[in-house]
């Protein structure tokens, strides 16, 4: 499956997807990396891997619709079949989301539906939550909503700061996103009645993938 990766910044999830796609037999191929920010560090990661990396600077477009139209045009021109948001910090219009319905996935650093939005790790600590993690899900118009494909749990430690917790969740993200992408790109994960169903390869079906917290 041909995938396009949308980024806005650091690009560490992009890096983990690049590594996965380089594995023999992995069912996805990266055909485009697009950033809405010219200064995104992830662009250099993509170029170093020999991938086509494009900037579509949202500041050069008068409104959300015209930016999204250009983004859509670039994805289609590259032959993208599945869009992977990896730290992409723009809200997409309903039209764009509808165009890529069940063909766009995102990673979020919490166990959704808890802690949608920004400053997740700080809020997790403020609430005294003991278990957090990350989620890969299909994209829907509302931010950080949509059928869950895979989740990984991460235990919160008593002495965690937002930074130490973010670092452990990020490690989990780097394992989870390639695994979830593999399920979608191979056709093993499908949305049924608003919930993701996964073929377990033994002929039966199970719910979304779950990775327990490491000891």
Distance of CA 174 to the CA centre of its chain: 10
Q: Counting contacts by CB under 6 A, is residue 4 touching ligand GRF? A: no
User: Which range binds ligand GRF by CB under 6 A, 74-82, 94-102, 103-111, 206-214?
Assistant: 103-111
User: Which range binds ligand GRF by CB under 6 A, 54-62, 102-110, 121-129, 182-190?
Assistant: 102-110
Minimum distance of ligand GRF from residue 89's CB (angstroms): 7
Look up residue 75 and give its DSSP letter.
Answer: H
Q: Among this protein's residues, is 108 annotated catalytic?
A: yes
Q: ω into residue 113 within 30 of 0, thus cis?
A: yes
DSSP calls for 128-159: T-SEEEEEEEE--SSTT-S-EEEEEEEEPPTT
> Environment class of residue 210 by beta-carbon count within 10 Å: exposed (0-12), middle (13-18) or buried (19+)?
middle
Minimum distance of ligand GRF from residue 205's CB (angstroms): 27
Among 5, 6, 9, 32, binds ligand GRF (CB under 6 A): 9
Minimum distance of ligand GRF from residue 99's CB (angstroms): 21
Parallel/antiparallel/unpaired status of strands 29-35 and 2-7:
parallel
In the region spanning residues 124 to 163, those forming contacts with ligand GRF, defined by CB under 6 A, are none
Minimum distance of ligand GRF from residue 188's CB (angstroms): 22
Sheet containing 148-155, strands listed edge to edge, beginning at the edge strand earlier in sequence: 53-55, 29-35, 2-7, 82-85, 104-108, 131-138, 148-155, 209-211
Q: What is the total count of residues that contact ligand GRF (CB under 6 A)? A: 14
Minimum distance of ligand GRF from residue 202's CB (angstroms): 31
With CB atoms as reference, the residue minimizing the distance to ligand GRF is 87
User: Which range binds ligand GRF by CB under 6 A, 4-12, 73-81, 149-157, 187-195?
Assistant: 4-12
SS3 state at 77: helix
Q: Using CA atoms, how far apart are residues 113 and 148, in angstroms rounded to an integer?
A: 9
Q: What is the per-residue burial (b if ≥16 Cβ within 10 Å, else e) of 47-65?
A: eebebebbebebeebeebe
Nearer to ligand GRF (CB atom), residue 42 or residue 147: 42
Question: Looking at 108, 121, 137, 174, which residue is catalytic?
Answer: 108
Helices and strands in the chain: count of H runs, count of E runs: 6, 11
Q: Counting contacts by CB under 6 A, is residue 186 touching ligand GRF? A: no
In the region spanning residues 13 to 72, those forming contacts with ligand GRF, defined by CB under 6 A, are 13-14, 42
Summarize as ranges the residues that interact with ligand GRF (CB under 6 A): 9-14, 42, 86-87, 107-109, 170, 173
Residues tagged active-site:
108
């Amino acid at each position: 499956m041909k995938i396009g990766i949308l980024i806005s910044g650091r690009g560490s999830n992009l890096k983990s997807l690049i590594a996965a796609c380089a594995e023999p037999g992995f069912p996805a191929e990266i055909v485009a990396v697009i950033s809405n920010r010219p200064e995104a560090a992830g662009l250099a990661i993509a170029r170093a891997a020999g991938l086509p990396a494009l900037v579509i600077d949202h500041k050069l477009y008068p409104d959300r619709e015209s930016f999204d139209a250009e983004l859509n045009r670039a994805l289609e021109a590259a032959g993208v079949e599945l869009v992977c948001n990896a730290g992409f910090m723009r809200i997409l219009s309903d039209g764009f989301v509808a165009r890529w319905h069940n063909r766009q996935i995102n990673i979020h650093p919490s166990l959704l539906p808890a802690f949608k939005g920004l400053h997740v790790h700080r809020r997790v600590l403020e609430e005294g939550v003991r278990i957090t993690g990350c989620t890969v899900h299909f994209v829907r118009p509302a931010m950080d909503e949509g059928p869950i494909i895979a989740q990984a749990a991460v235990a919160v430690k008593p002495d965690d700061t937002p930074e130490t917790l973010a670092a452990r969740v990020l490690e989990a993200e780097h394992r989870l996103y390639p695994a979830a992408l593999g399920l979608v790109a191979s056709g093993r994960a499908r949305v049924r009645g608003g919930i993701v169903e996964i073929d377990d390869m033994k002929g039966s079906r199970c719910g979304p993938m779950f990775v327990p917290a490491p000891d």
